[in-house]
Amino acid sequence: MKEKDSCEIYCYDEPKVRKVQHALEGQNIQGMIKMFKVLADETRMKIAFALCEEDELCVCDVANIIGSSLATASHHLRTLKQLGLAKYRKDGKLVFYSLEDDHVRQLVQLASTHSRELITNGK
């Protein structure tokens, strides 16, 4: 017999529910959603991962890493920048990108670690 994965009766812990609802009121959920949507794109996740491996990369480096044109790499890097996940600096005729801050690096590294663990555990 298959185990039921939902409650069989309806009851809830009112103090917990109020506490979490109150915590949600102070959050920018839409901003969080945008951040995860941006990273949900395979190419942008590859770029974010690459920027975890190297502190900064020029657009040409990124294009070669992801196997794309400069225009495609620039488009994805610009998207990461517009949503506050990456920043850039210009050095002569080159543009170098890096992650905006350590929070972004931690997100990508956690996702990578979790993904490897899922594979190891056969999931």
List, for residues 51-107, the tens digit of each pLDDT value: 999 999 999 999 999 999 999 999 999 999 999 999 999 999 999 999 998 999 999
Q: Quick check: helix, strand or coil at residue 74?
A: helix
What is this structure's pTM?
0.84
The amino acid present at 110, given as its one-letter code, is L
Per-residue pLDDT, 69: 97
Residue 12, pLDDT > 80, answer: yes
List, for residues 15-38, the tens digit of each pLDDT value: 999 999 999 998 999 989 999 999
Determine the Cα–Cα distance for residues 46 and 52; give it in Å rounded to an integer: 10
Contacts of 81 (CB under 8 A, 6+ apart): 87, 88, 97
Per-residue pLDDT, 8: 86
Domains contained in the chain, CATH given: 14-120 (1.10.10.10)
